[in-house]
């Protein structure tokens, strides 16, 4: 079964915690044991798993990605969003997680994040759940 939902990002670059939305989709599915793949069909945003207890981690990620891939006119395809495309590719466009006893398996401090690099935008997230 595939579930879709949308998120509206509010900034050019941000990490949006979508963990509870994914948990809701798993509950709706009724699957007790299986896998959950989260995919974003966009080239300028991604999805990652990381620490969700300290909000400064998101800021640190954004600063580091800006340092690695500055938003400057040093790219051949700058006018078609090269920096956001590169940042999204570094983060990845999907994550696969385990479902155990009807719950998403994550570490104590882990969350699932939509990583926006070309916002604000409306982003679609696809969730495929398999038993």
Half-sphere exposure of 57 (CA within 13 A, CB side): 16
Phi, psi of 105 (to 5 degrees): -90, 115
Residue boundaries of the structural domains of the chain: 2-130
Of 2, 9, 3, 1, give the one whose Cα is nearest residue 115.
9
Q: Which CATH class is domain 2-130?
A: mainly beta
Question: What's the rounded mean pLDDT across residues 14-36?
Answer: 97
Distance of CA 32 to the CA centre of its chain: 24
Name beta bridge partners: 100.
103
User: What confidence score (pLDDT) does residue 79 get?
Assistant: 64
What's the whole-model pTM score? 0.93
In sequence order, which ranges of the chain are alpha helices (DSSP H)?
19-29, 56-68, 82-91
Give the pLDDT band (50/70/90) at residue 128.
very high
- Tens digit of each residue's pLDDT (9 = 90 or more) over 50-105: 999 998 999 999 999 999 998 877 777 656 678 999 999 999 999 999 999 999 99
Q: Report the DSSP pairing between strands 45-51 and 110-116.
A: antiparallel
What DSSP assignment string belongs to 46-68? EEEEEE-S-THHHHHHHHHHHHH
Tokens representing 29 are: 């599915």
């Amino acid at each position: 079964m595939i579930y879709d939902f949308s998120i509206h990002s509010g900034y050019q670059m941000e990490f949006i915690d979508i963990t509870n939305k994914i948990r809701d989709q798993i509950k709706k599915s009724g699957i007790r044991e299986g896998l959950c793949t989260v995919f974003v069909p966009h080239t300028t945003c991604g999805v990652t798993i990381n620490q969700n207890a300290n909000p400064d981690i998101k800021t640190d990620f954004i600063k580091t990605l800006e340092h690695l891939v500055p938003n400057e006119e040093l790219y051949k395809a700058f006018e078609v969003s090269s920096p956001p495309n590169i940042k999204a590719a570094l983060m990845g466009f999907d994550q696969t997680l385990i479902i155990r006893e009807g719950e998403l398996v994550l570490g104590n401090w882990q969350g699932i994040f939509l990583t926006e690099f070309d916002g604000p935008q409306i982003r679609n997230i696809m969730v495929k759940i398999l038993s």
